Amino acid sequence: MRIEIDTTIPIPAPGPDMVGNVYPVRGGFGARNGHMHVIISHFDKVQGYCRYSGYCTVTVDCDGEIVGANSYALHYFDSKVPMAKVDGLDNLALTMRSL
């Protein structure tokens, strides 16, 4: 899997749905080498009496290759400004099947 990086299309202001937003990695090896977080999903779960919400991300390098994956609490991206948007992630549907 690879994400093509298109630099010719201006990015509109983000709406309330953050899936597809791209943020620069802050700090460490990823920041020095141009890595980016791409939000691929939002989750809001309740287990027992504990509610947890956040975003799942993939980390891509400056060539668009996926080099990692993480999850972050909702507040992590509150003060950050997206640098790009990946189109089509909100309509992506994968199927898991038994082996």
Residue 15 has pLDDT above 80, yes or no: no
Residue 78 has pLDDT above 60, yes or no: yes
Query: Among 9-18, 38-47, 76-85, which stretch is predicted with the lowest mean pLDDT?
Result: 9-18
Residue 87 has pLDDT above 80, yes or no: yes
Per-residue pLDDT tens over the stretch 27-75: 899 899 999 999 998 888 888 888 778 899 999 999 999 999 999 988 8
* Residues 32, 1: Cα–Cα separation, whole Å: 23
Pairing of strands 84-85, 66-73: unpaired
User: In angstroms, what is the C-alpha Rg of the chain?
Assistant: 15
What is the average pLDDT value for the chain, to the nearest integer? 84
Q: For the chain, where are the E strands, in sequence order?
A: 21-24, 36-47, 50-60, 66-73, 84-85
Residue 79 has pLDDT above 60, yes or no: yes
60 touches 35 (CB < 8 A): yes
What was the pLDDT predicted at 10? Answer: 53
Identity of the residue numbered 36: M
